[in-house]
Amino acid sequence: MISKDINSFEKVEMGGKIINVPYPTDIPAYKFIGRERIIEKALAAWTCIDGTSPLNFRLYGPPGIGKNALVYELARILNKDLYIINGHEELGPEDIACSATMTSKNTIEYVASPLFAAMLRGGIFFFDEIGKAPQSALDPLASVLDDRRSLTSVLAGIRLKAHPDFLCCAALNEDEETGIGLPGFIDERTRPAIYVGYPYVSEIDEILMSRMKAIPDAWMRALLSDFKHVNLSARNTLTLLQFAYGLSIKEKGISATLSENEIKEYLSKAYKHIKDGDEDQKKEHESNLKKSSETYSAGLFAGHSAVENKETVH
């Protein structure tokens, strides 16, 4: 593994130009839990059989479900360096290949992208939130993700052929995958598309135990019993627990012993805060609806859902 220093770049000479190549990303040290089947799938995609190139898979699923953690784990399993780019609306093609910067001496220096570095050194390149990148930024990827496995930087005037050990994957949210989707040429080149769903309650339990050692067990138990039927991502679960525990410390102090009901109350209070943004609006609708219909409903049709539409065919 290359020694890492986040404040500096390795200077590499290529085609008579000095290029600053970034070091790999630091992989968080926490223990990875579960997801064996998805890891199996991802590793299968990267397996080269009969001389074929490794496939560039993409992971998709609800936010906070552990897609990034999964890629970290893959890097750990394969003992490879990991290079990450985050997709966003302002991303340009030069951010994907090679950009330039001004030095204090008023000269231009080239800065390689994490993709460039991964291709040069044979690491894993992970394009996080690929669905948020504009199509123009993704254009340089076309030649990287197919059999050519090469990257061209117009700015630096360099064409880089990928190291044979170079591997690539991407991640995007479920909405982006199922709705508008990726541009056709990226969609074609990032297969298989592997779905990452909600973890099992038992896995959530283990994640919480390993990541939240300071929080008493009673909190974990209350959370798992009360929220087992709610689809919570690992990230939301951790936030919920931290937030609820923080609330209790603020109100009752760190040494207070809380009853199960009190813990559950704090949890539901915290849950209200982290529910998705639509909820408040929904609530408003519901309260309006209640106001308008409570005079009339009088128990008629009790048990029937209120979400129905009538259709008239003309």
Partner 1 sequence: MITTALKTTKKQYVKHKRFENLCVIPYIRGRLVFAELAARALEEDEFRRVAVDFPFFMNNDGLLNNAVQSMPFAGSLLIKKDSGTFYSIPFVPNDAACITVAAVQMLKKDGISIEMKCIDDSQVINYPQESLMQTEINITDDYLVFTDGLDNFFGPLYRRLDQSLSECSKDQSFFSEYRAGIVAERLAGLLRQGGKTLFVCEYRLWSLVSRILESGSTRRGNGFHFIWKDLKAAMVIEDPYRFWAHGLLDDYPFTVEQFYNKFKLGSVRLFDKLECIEDLVKNTCQKSARKKKASLSVRRLISFYAYLRARMTGAGHLTPQPLTHLYEAAYSCLGKKIAQDIAKEFLRYPVPERSRIKGYLTIREDRIFTLDRKFMVPDLSEYRYFNTGGVRHSFDNRQDGDYPPEHLIAFVYRTDPAADRSIAESLGRATMSWAIQSDYLIHEAACRHLRSMINRKRRHEVPQKSMGRMRKGIQWKKTISSKALGEDAIYVRMNSRAQKVLEKKMDEYTPVVFIFTNNFKNHGGSAIHDSNITQRKMDLGVPEHSLNSYPPPDYVYSVFHTFSRGDWYYKRHVEKRLLSSITFLYTRHVMGLQRYAAIMKRNARFQCRTHPWSDPEIARFPLQETGAAWAVKYAEHTVIVAAIDSWKPSRELKEYASTKGVRIYTISLSKFKPDFIDRMRNLYFTSTQVKTHPDADRIMERFIN
DSSP 190-236: S-SEEE--PPPHHHHHHHHHHH-TTS-HHHHHHHHHHSTTS---HHH
Is 205 an interacting residue with respect to partner 1 (CB under 8 A)? no
Minimum separation from the CB atom of position 117 to partner 1 (A) = 19
Instruction: Give the containing element (helix H, strand E) for 139.
Output: none
Is 94 or 205 the residue whose CB approaches partner 1 more closely? 94
Is 180 an interacting residue with respect to partner 1 (CB under 8 A)? yes
Residue from 252, 190, 9, 33 nearest 109 by CA: 9
Is 25 or 56 the residue whose CB approaches partner 1 more closely? 56
Distance separating alpha carbons of residues 198 and 217, to the nearest angstrom: 22
Is 311 an interacting residue with respect to partner 1 (CB under 8 A)? yes
Is 213 or 301 the residue whose CB approaches partner 1 more closely? 301
CB-based contact 171:128 (threshold 8 Å)? yes
Region of 153 please: left (phi>0), alpha (psi -120 to 50) or beta. beta
Is 64 an interacting residue with respect to partner 1 (CB under 8 A)? no
Is 7 or 305 the residue whose CB approaches partner 1 more closely? 305
Is 247 an interacting residue with respect to partner 1 (CB under 8 A)? no
Is 40 an interacting residue with respect to partner 1 (CB under 8 A)? yes
Is 18 an interacting residue with respect to partner 1 (CB under 8 A)? no
Minimum separation from the CB atom of position 225 to partner 1 (A) = 20
Is 214 or 307 the residue whose CB approaches partner 1 more closely? 307
Is 155 or 209 the residue whose CB approaches partner 1 more closely? 155
How many residues touch partner 1 under the rule CB under 8 A: the total is 71
Phi, psi of 38 (to 5 degrees): -70, -35
Q: What is the largest CA-CA distance in the chain?
A: 83
Question: Which window, 46-54, 205-213, 233-241, 253-261, contacts partner 1 (CB under 8 A)?
Answer: 46-54
DSSP 131: G
Is 16 an interacting residue with respect to partner 1 (CB under 8 A)? no
CB-based contact 200:34 (threshold 8 Å)? yes
Is 178 or 257 the residue whose CB approaches partner 1 more closely? 178
Residue from 305, 312, 215 nearest 267 by CA: 215
Is 47 an interacting residue with respect to partner 1 (CB under 8 A)? yes
Omega cis (within 30) before 192: yes
Minimum separation from the CB atom of position 219 to partner 1 (A) = 24
Region of 216 please: left (phi>0), alpha (psi -120 to 50) or beta. beta
Within 93-122, which residues bind partner 1 (CB under 8 A)? Answer: 94, 99-102, 108, 110
Residue 310 has a CB neighbour count (10 Å cut-off) of 4
Amino acid at 17: K
Within 251-310, which residues bind partner 1 (CB under 8 A)? Answer: 282, 285-286, 288-289, 292-293, 296-297, 300-301, 304-310
Minimum separation from the CB atom of position 249 to partner 1 (A) = 33
End-to-end Cα, the chain, rounded Å: 70
Minimum separation from the CB atom of position 44 to partner 1 (A) = 4
CB-based contact 237:207 (threshold 8 Å)? yes
Minimum separation from the CB atom of position 263 to partner 1 (A) = 27
Question: Which window, 36-44, 79-87, 242-250, 261-269, contacts partner 1 (CB under 8 A)?
Answer: 36-44
Q: Which of 8, 31, 136, 175 is the binder for partner 1 (CB under 8 A)?
A: 175
